[in-house]
């Protein structure tokens, strides 16, 4: 597994205040890593350190093997960065804006023009490529932002709050584009967000930051297990009709930790290892459900859990 970003024990102090307090994480090739946490958690500070835009007080950072603090230009060549509020020349079209950026990056016009049209196609802005960007919606602007980082064929793309302020349809388009960049184009992505339920759909791994510390890290499922109690599951068995008496008939089934009736459903808290045995036993005792629903970990739930415990 090739690591595109490696951060080890990084610290950023402003005076005595630790904005980032000894965090470690990595981003592998073609993967999406979500840096999550509430405002002020230290996400932007972390991103600025990765890009060599602010110097860490301690710790080690490598971006494709380069130290961003010692070799910022090398890192800038490899990494595309889209800040939270990206600005374009509003009185220029999408193509003109991108051509301007390509020139800044030293790409010859003949190469750039072909490339720009391809990229605008990828981000779904071909139809409006000759419209002034001043007329674009926030979602279109953000897709143009993604186009602008793709111009230099980055290995790594860093996105600060890529979906903030965009309507649901626009958000969906931006997220699927980010996903495509990683899975089809092989770009590694690090994105920061406080909108957990949105980004959880596309992140391979996430790190949850709080007050400068990384309080949890892993896949959504791993974090779910860490956060929500090790091996306990919850399931809901729905019936056309059921009453409290049914619960007595389920007494003594091994692995059930808690049982209750909710409307016409039985809610069972159980030991994850015994899940299948439990369902089988419930059915054998005469309670064939019309529907069984297991728990799905949602990041929102995990997040609330972490921050409630602080
Ligand atoms: N230049 C600075 N000088 C002093 N304190 C700073 C500076 N930059 C950031 N901070 C503080 O560091 C903490 C982390 O800020 P940071 O911007 O990294 O958080 P964040 O998680 O990105 O949140 P947001 O989404 O609001 O930007 C905050 O308490 C912030 O006030």
Q: What would the pLDDT profile of 256-269 be if each residue is shown by its tens digit?
A: 988 999 888 999 88
Band the pLDDT of 241: cuts 50, 70, 90: confident
Q: What ligand 1 atom has the least distance to the C-alpha of 54?
A: 1
pLDDT at 216 over 90: no
What lies within 8 Å, CB to CB, of 243 at 6+ separation is 261
Ligand 1 proximity of 14 Cβ (cutoff 6 Å): yes
**What local confidence, expressed as pLDDT, does residue 189 receive?**
97
Tell me if 225 is assigned to some domain.
Answer: no
Same domain, 70 and 186: yes
pLDDT at 229 over 70: no
Q: How far apart are CA 140 and CA 245, in angstroms?
A: 57
Same domain, 238 and 208: no
Same domain, 33 and 116: yes
**What local confidence, expressed as pLDDT, does residue 296 receive?**
63
CA of 41 to the centre of ligand 1 (A): 7
Residue nearest atom 2 in ligand 1 by C-alpha distance: 14
Q: What ligand 1 atom has the least distance to the C-alpha of 45?
A: 18
Can you list the positions of beta strands (E) in the chain? Answer: 3-14, 17-28, 32-36, 58-63, 79-82, 156-160, 188-193, 205-210, 213-218, 232-238, 256-262, 265-271, 291-294
Tell me if 68 is assigned to some domain.
Answer: yes
Residue nearest atom 24 in ligand 1 by C-alpha distance: 39
pLDDT at 309 over 50: no
Tell me if 185 is assigned to some domain.
Answer: yes
Same domain, 194 and 281: no
CATH of the domain at 120: 3.40.50.300
**What local confidence, expressed as pLDDT, does residue 132 receive?**
95
**What local confidence, expressed as pLDDT, does residue 117 receive?**
94
Same domain, 141 and 196: yes
Name the region of 119 (left: φ>0; alpha: ψ -120 to 50; beta: rest).
alpha
Number of domains forming the structure of the chain: 2
Same domain, 127 and 249: no
Q: How far apart are CA 35 and CA 293, in angstroms?
A: 30
Same domain, 99 and 172: yes
Ligand 1 proximity of 42 Cβ (cutoff 6 Å): yes
* Mutation probe of ligand 1 site: the residue of 34, 41, 85 with most atoms within 8 A of C-beta: 41
* Residue 273 structural domain: 231-309
Same domain, 21 and 168: yes
Q: What is the reported pTM?
A: 0.78
CB 205 within 8 Å of CB 218? yes
**What local confidence, expressed as pLDDT, does residue 92 receive?**
95
pLDDT at 303 over 80: no
CA of 102 to the centre of ligand 1 (A): 31
The three-state (H, E, C) secondary structure of 192-232, written as one string:
EECCHHHHCCCCCEEEEEECCEEEEEECHHHHHHHHCCCCE
User: ipTM of this predicted complex?
Assistant: 0.93
Tell me if 186 is assigned to some domain.
Answer: yes
What pLDDT digit, counting tens, does each position of 269-290 carry?
888 778 888 888 988 888 888 8
Tell me if 160 is assigned to some domain.
Answer: yes
Mean pLDDT of the chain: 89
Q: What ligand 1 atom has the least distance to the C-alpha of 42?
A: 18
Tell me if 243 is assigned to some domain.
Answer: yes
Ligand 1 proximity of 45 Cβ (cutoff 6 Å): yes
State residue 9 phi and psi, 5-degree precision.
50, 45
């Amino acid at each position: 597994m090739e690591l595109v970003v490696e951060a080890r024990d990084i610290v950023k102090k402003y005076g005595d205040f630790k904005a980032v307090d000894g965090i470690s994480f990595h981003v592998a090739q073609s993967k999406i890593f979500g840096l999550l946490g509430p405002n002020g958690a230290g996400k932007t500070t972390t991103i600025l350190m990765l890009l060599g835009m602010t110097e860490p007080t301690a710790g080690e950072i490598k971006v494709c093997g380069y130290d961003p603090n010692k070799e910022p230009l090398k890192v800038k060549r490899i990494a595309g960065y889209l800040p939270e509020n990206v600005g374009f020349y509003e009185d220029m079209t999408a193509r003109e804006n991108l051509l301007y950026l390509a020139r800044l990056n030293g790409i010859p016009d003949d190469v750039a023009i072909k490339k720009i049209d391809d990229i605008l196609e990828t981000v779904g802005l071909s139809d409006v490529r000759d419209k002034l960007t001043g007329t674009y919606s926030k979602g279109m602007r953000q897709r143009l932002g993604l186009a602008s980082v793709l111009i230099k064929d980055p290995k790594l793309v860093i996105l600060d709050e890529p979906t903030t302020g965009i309507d649901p349809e626009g958000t969906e388009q931006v997220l699927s584009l980010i996903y495509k960049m990683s899975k089809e184009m092989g770009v590694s992505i690090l994105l920061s967000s406080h909108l957990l339920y949105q980004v959880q759909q596309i992140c391979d791994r996430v790190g949850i930051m709080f007050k400068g510390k990384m309080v949890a890290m892993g896949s959504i499922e791993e974090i779910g297990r860490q956060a929500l109690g090790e091996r306990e599951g919850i399931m809901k068995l729905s019936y056309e009709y059921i009453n409290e008496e049914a619960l007595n008939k389920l007494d003594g089934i091994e692995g059930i930790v808690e049982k209750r009736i909710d409307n016409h459903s039985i809610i069972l808290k159980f030991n994850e290892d015994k899940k299948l045995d439990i369902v089988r036993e419930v059915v054998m005792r005469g309670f064939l459900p019309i529907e069984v629903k297991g728990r799905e970990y949602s990041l929102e739930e995990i997040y609330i859990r972490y921050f409630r415990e602080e």
